[in-house]
């Protein structure tokens, strides 16, 4: 079956611009999570969506936002880009929404590598 | 705030050697997951450990979850060049599919 698809794979933006990244989860998966990966901070949780509702949010400024559509596809948006936003943005899908202490198996996409100049 | 400390950060070994990667925290996790990530790809789940003291084996890889569920280790026996990659441990948080990741261990196995 098709895996998690993220687009675009690579993009270059300048400071102050905004960017939208897309994620199509594995068919049938309703949970989509987003992570930011940088050499200095590693993988950090951005947010999670399940059935079009944001269930959880990490410690990122309000410039980072996301949404999920009825077909479970998700987008994340970063406005007023800063140099420090340069990173690999990873999307992960899961069949179920994890309960407390019960993280579902996450399937990651290949990521969207954002460079901010 | 839950934190996971991974060590070592880098490991360069010869083919056939054994190695252990550690993942430690002061927090208790309900479960810990280990992922492997190759350049240009997303992390791929290797194993999930749930019970304190649990040991799981995946071919040459052995995973252990500490009795107190605060730490975990990954042991690779007779490493192969194909084991090269970034190994990440991740603990579940209080709610949802939100994982707390360690900084990762870059493993390079030379032939």
User: Which tens digits make up the pLDDT trace of B9-45?
Assistant: 999 999 999 999 999 999 888 889 999 999 989 999 9
- The answer on pLDDT for B74 being more than 70 is yes
- What residues are paired with B10 via a beta bridge? B106
Of the partner residues A4, A100, A105, the one whose CB lies closest to the CB of residue B45: A105
CA distance B62 to B22: 12
Q: Does A22 touch chain B (CB under 8 A)?
A: no
The strand pair at B85-92 and B71-76 is best described as: unpaired
Residue with tokens 């905004």: A18
Do B101 and A105 count as a contact with CB atoms less than 8 A apart?
A: no
What separation in angstroms does the CA of A99 have from each of A7, A46, B72?
29, 18, 22
User: Which tens digits make up the pLDDT trace of B54-68?
Assistant: 999 999 999 999 999
Rounded to a whole number of angstroms, the distance from the CA of A104 to the nearest CA of chain B is 6
Residue A95 — pLDDT band, cuts 50, 70, 90?
A: confident
Per-residue tokens: B75: 């042991």
């Amino acid at each position: 079956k098709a895996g998690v698809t993220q687009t675009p794979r690579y993009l270059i933006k300048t400071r102050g611009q905004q960017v939208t990244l897309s994620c199509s989860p594995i068919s049938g998966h309703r949970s989509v999570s987003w992570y930011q990966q940088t050499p200095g901070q590693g993988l950090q949780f951005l947010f999670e969506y399940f059935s079009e509702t944001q269930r959880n949010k990490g410690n990122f400024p309000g410039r980072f936002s996301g949404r999920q559509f009825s077909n479970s596809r998700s987008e994340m948006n970063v406005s007023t880009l800063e140099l420090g936003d340069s990173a690999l943005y990873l999307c992960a899908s899961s069949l179920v929404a994890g309960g407390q202490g019960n993280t579902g198996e996450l399937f990651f996409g290949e990521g969207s590598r954002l460079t901010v100049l | 705030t839950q934190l996971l400390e991974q060590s070592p950060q880098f490991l360069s070994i010869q083919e056939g050697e054994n190695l252990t990667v550690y993942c430690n925290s002061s927090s208790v996790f309900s479960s810990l997951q280990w992922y492997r990530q190759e350049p240009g790809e997303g992390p791929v789940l290797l194993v999930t450990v749930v019970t304190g003291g649990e040991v799981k084996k995946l071919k040459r890889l052995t995973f252990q979850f500490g009795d107190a569920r605060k730490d975990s280790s990954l042991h690779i026996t007779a490493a192969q060049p194909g084991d090269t990659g970034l190994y990440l441990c991740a603990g579940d948080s209080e709610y949802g599919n939100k994982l707390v990741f360690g900084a990762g261990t870059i493993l390079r196995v030379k032939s």
